[in-house]
Structure 1
Amino acid sequence: MALRFAARKVLSSSAPLVHKSGTSGESIFVRGRWASSSSSSSDPSSPKPNKKVTHDRLASVIDAVNDRKLPPELRGQRNNVRSETDIINVVEQRVWHAMEEGQFENLPGKGKPLDLSSNPHADPAEDTLYRILNKNGCAPEWVELNKEIRNSIAGWRLALRKAWMYKGGSDDSKWLELSEVLKLQLRDLNNKVLHYNLIVPFGRQMFGFKWEREIDRLNDEIQMDK
């Protein structure tokens, strides 16, 4: 039994058996070891990949992909495309050529009012919900919040213009007092903008308001009024 158990244990091992002859002539099996793959991979004589060639091949593939993204008029001239304006110009030229060729004439529904009762690009469930809200004189939260933000920033800018009249005088204490109040109000407005951006559908987010940018805006308006 002991010999059978030992034989099973030997055969179940993953290492190979090597046959050798004992000193007294009997046959014995010695546990061998598999050659490590790391020894062959660490062979200094094996060729190393050329990093420059690999980088050049990858760059050429990326250039080819980016070139395919361009309109046919600009393909092969990617180095001359400096901004999106060049691509927009090509699109506008295509539109004008199509108009000159009369491709926009005799289109279905030409001269008829647009049917805005439903939005074909919106999710059907959301479109149904919006129509129900519209019939009952209601609007989604983000629509109402958008109106509130726009009305609030318009009133805030008017208050900033009035407070600006106290700046630059002999006593700036009134301006400093009003500016601190306006900064707090602007922070509250930005909190509403943050909430609006979290609930509004994708693509309708708005930028926040910055004090320095509003001051520059006010200065530009004052210069235009002169």
Structure 2
Amino acid sequence: RLLGYKLAKNLKDCYSLLGISDGCTEAELKEAFIKRAKQYHPDSGSKTADPRKFAQVEEAYRTVQEKLVRERKKEEAEANEEEEEDAGIKHTAPQHRQYLGFEGVGYGTPTQRQKQYQQYKVDRAATRVVDYKVAKLSAMSESALVLQEKRQARKAKIVQVIDRMVEDMIAESMANGEFDNLPGKGKPLNLQKSEYNPYQDTTTHLINKILNDNGFKPQWVELEVEVRSRIKELRKKLDSKRDAFGPEPFSPQNQKKWNTYLDTFREDIAALNKRIDKYNMIVPIMAKQLGHIKPDREVAKVMEKFRAQEEQEKQQTVETKAEEK
């Protein structure tokens, strides 16, 4: 059904859901509800058990029950009014009704009223029994749904805790250098049949073997190699360019060339940072993610490096001249 749709606003759908006609009696209504409850209640053991469907059946039952009770009370009130009008004692009814038996139920002769009262008590008892069963089934349905949701939430929480714990342990081991001197480091994995992983399904093992035999690597591994290689290349080129311009201060012509190269360097770094973003999106381990390269910081490091070299060369020159004197 559509979200927000209320069965109580459409009696036709309520009758259809319960499988009864518009002119049914209260007894037929109760019988239809018990039949549907056995069919859809989540604890009934039926193959068609459905908590949501049972909730709709319960709502339809209560809606039709309220309608039938209103109609019955209306008919009894109209009958009582007709009886009092025929007897011409309408104005005395409130005064003498308290002395009548049968809780004021029924009309006609005392014998007729007694029969009507007996039927009324039977119907009232049956209604109370059905209401008790409905309340009990509703409580059981709610308990079953709540219990199922709690189980699912607990399971999800345990999985998340285990995943986080494993990732923390791996990151801590990597930080402590426990993976630095492993045998076979930097070499492709040997996935021969003799080293078959019993916890890995056969299909995955064969696929990995085919990929390994043909030199394939995971996309994030290839992208990491590409990114790190590009970082080294750009840093080496920046260092080489700075060395070519000689000591500071630059001449106006060299300063212009240097500024032009820095613009190109910043564009290359921006493109590299986009590749880093793509790598961070696919890398399976959070600790392996890379940060952005800041072009201004790289330029500042190179400039500081050459200034230190120039200062050291000047110091050596001064010391050499002093020794010569």
- Please confirm whether the aligned pair reaches a TM-score higher than 0.5, indicating the same fold: no
Q: TM-score range by the shorter chain?
A: 0.3 to 0.5
- Structure of greater Rg: 2
TM-score by length of 1: 0.44
- Choose between structure 1 and 2: higher strand proportion: 1
TM-score by length of 2: 0.32
- Choose between structure 1 and 2: higher helix proportion: 2
Q: With CA pairs under 8 Å and 6+ residues apart, which has the higher RCO, 1 or 2?
A: 2
